[in-house]
Amino acid sequence: MNRILNMICLLVLTSLPFFAQTENPVADFIAKGDEAYARYDNAAALEHYQNAFRADSANYEAAWKLSRAYVDVGEVQEKKETRRTYYQEADNYARKAVEIDYLGAKGHLWRSIALGRVALDAGAKERVQMSKEIKKEVDRALELDPTDDIAWHVLGRWHRKIATLSWVEKRFANMFLGGVPKEASVQKAAECFQKAIELHPEHLNHYLELGLTYEELKQKEPAIAQYQKVLELPVADADDEGFKATARERLEKLKK
């Protein structure tokens, strides 16, 4: 009898590490995805978040982080069709995140970003049509979390893009939006990027986009100051080297 009890105890004790490891596989997958994301390994992050979502398709964090990962991986694809596929998947998972938790800001934010990426490779008609949904989603994200610097960044890009539509895009805006949205302005774009910088002063792309916006406003010296700030800040994101290269190009052009 004692032998049997000892064997049972041994089995229980040796199985404890297994149960400890598998007690919350979703959290483990998300943690691994976060680690990969922190070291700029977006492909690995995508795989880990996929595993998390497969383990629990009702997990909000897994859904929005999977959307983010599809955007990140899509950005480095050379072929337009491949990029679009990744961005559409990003939109699909952002939609799922919104379905899981409508009051979660990240789902709405990444939906606006995914749609914005799709729009970059779309024709003028589709871009204008999508702009309304992008604005709706980023507004909702900011309503839920006004401290999200990336949401302010997205709103800034929306204002600048809509305020500087080409004549062809303006025609489509008249057809599908009832005209160019009156609230859109380059000055408001600058204010949005300034707010993003206030919330996250270490993020290079906020300064780059503010510099581009100042150029649209014909404010040369403020634009130069923003580009110089981009070059001064340390690299902290996978895209930062590209942002620095763009800032150098803009500086060279403005200083001629």
Encode pLDDT of 34-84 as tens digits.
999 999 999 999 999 999 999 999 999 999 999 999 999 999 999 999 999
**CATH superfamily assigned to domain 26-103:** Tetratricopeptide repeat domain (1.25.40.10)
Encode pLDDT of 184-210 as tens digits.
999 999 999 999 999 999 999 999 999
Predicted confidence (pLDDT) at residue 131 exceeds the cutoff of 60 = yes
- Rounded-to-integer distance, Cα 151 and Cα 106, Å: 9
Predicted confidence (pLDDT) at residue 126 exceeds the cutoff of 80 = yes
Average model confidence (pLDDT) across the chain: 91
- Rounded-to-integer distance, Cα 184 and Cα 138, Å: 14
List, by residue range, all CATH 1.25.40.10 domains of the chain: 26-103
Angle at 166 between CA 163 and CA 171, to 5 degrees: 95
